[in-house]
A and B are shown apart, each in its own frame.
Chain A
Amino acid sequence: MWKVYKYTLIDLARNKFVGGWMLLLLGISFGLFQLEDQPVKAMLSLSQVLLALVPLVASVFSIVYLYDAMEFTELLAVQPLRRSKILGGQMLALGTALVIGVLAGAGIPLLAFLPDGASLTLLLSALMLTLVFVAIGALIAIRNREKARGVGLGLVVWFLFVLVYDAVLLWVMFAFSDYPIEPWIVPLAALDPIDLGRIMVLLKVDLSAMMGYSGAVYEKFFGNATGILVALAALFAWVAAPSAWAFKAFRRKDF
């Protein structure tokens, strides 16, 4: 696995898109911190950009990269090497490259201008979302033979998670506002990885407001590090589940 990982990473290191993504993030981050007179405000704007863009870029790039590598993957698959090691190496390399892109592109400005817990949480949630959407992208690329279809599906999934799911959630809140749905809202939000990443940031920057909602229900959960740890664990599950599915599909895949 590590051999596939190493050479895939060498390939990705020179990939123009990965470099471009890092530069784009650097530009946005520095721009925001220069533009806003208060670093907190810049961080909040950056969090909105990251929470929307990171999933999009991670999934679409992974899908495109894996499609383009399909013939090479086929060649690897006829080597004396288990298939799980091929996919494992490729996914890890994609994750590593994109994580480095986020760390360098957004992490450096964040920690330079606002080195505090909120910045770290935002960075952590952007990194987790990168891994989640690499896994989702891999799953899509493996399960669909056509590149255009795969990329389209990636966009649809992103759009679902970034906007549609929240709209549905809001509608559910309205529709069932006469029922005691309060305890269900956070678990429901956890079904959307982007919401999870966002809630992690909220627990740092908007804890005061979250404590208002929590009342008795989530006071313990929100009040200390537990909330962030639980959100983090849920994000890990969001990495693990699509990965496991992708591995299963890849093992059974016919080239």
Chain B
Amino acid sequence: MTAQKTERLLNLVICLLSTRQFLSKEQIRTAVPQYADCATTEAFERMFERDKEEVRDMGIPLETGSNSAWFEDEVGYRVDRAAYALPEVSFAPDELAVLGLASRVWQQASLAGPASRALLKLKAAGVEPDDAGLAGVETRVRTSEPAFEALYAAVRDRRPVTFPYRAGRADEVVERHLEPWGIVSWHGRWYVVGHDRDRDARRVFRLSRIAGPVAAVGAPGDVDVPAGVDFRAEVAMTVRDTVRGKATLRVRPGCGVALRRRSTEQGDGLAQGGWDELRVGFADAETFAEELAAYGPDVVVVEPEAVRDAVVRRLRAVLEAS
């Protein structure tokens, strides 16, 4: 069934590309064998209408027009060859290698098909890529968040959307309304930036927190993307933890490597009775306490009290649970 349809569409495309004249429906019906098999004119016309739309959806510039200035009502069809064909472009072997690497970025993502097809088209000139300069390098970005596909399409087509969103630590899910402007992968996670209709403000949403289907609620083009918004900076600003406090920690020598990398001041172990004293900035006492509890007896909080208490509470909870 699909094979028959592919064959029919391919014959239609070839037929409309080979003509300079506009072809009438009747001419097309005779020229494409699969249409000639249609039992009735009605059946043919229905089929042709659908095919025409699908071919256009593929990006093929199928035009309507008339060959004669006197009989304008006689509508004909053709594909504009100049608009159909990829502009003449020739890539050098090393450029094709870079393009290959760029297309493989999407290998495990929903754009894998378009990426490899694009590469194929650019290789049509017959030049082979020279990968030597990029040997041993591989790239991947994944789009495993279920909401990616729908949000990507909404961003591309500039359509407003609505989706259930899980915010904060509480598992409360609220339906949100968004005019999406851009979609960003930041530290391996996807985010969408846009105008939040509920808050009437610019907002960033994390795709993995979207708790259900994303529905488009408007026509393509309904979203105006303001000029000059740096989507990535928006995400970075929302995601990056701002240092809100500093803690003094005692850390066993050789331990707490990650804390040492972040610390602003380090004492010498000798003065502290075998412990190293560090000063480390943190964004949120509770999140920081979670990290510190993981070190067990290797890290002790001196101050502030909020972090110290949170760590003690967490360690007690571990004891109670075991």
* Chain B binds chain A: no
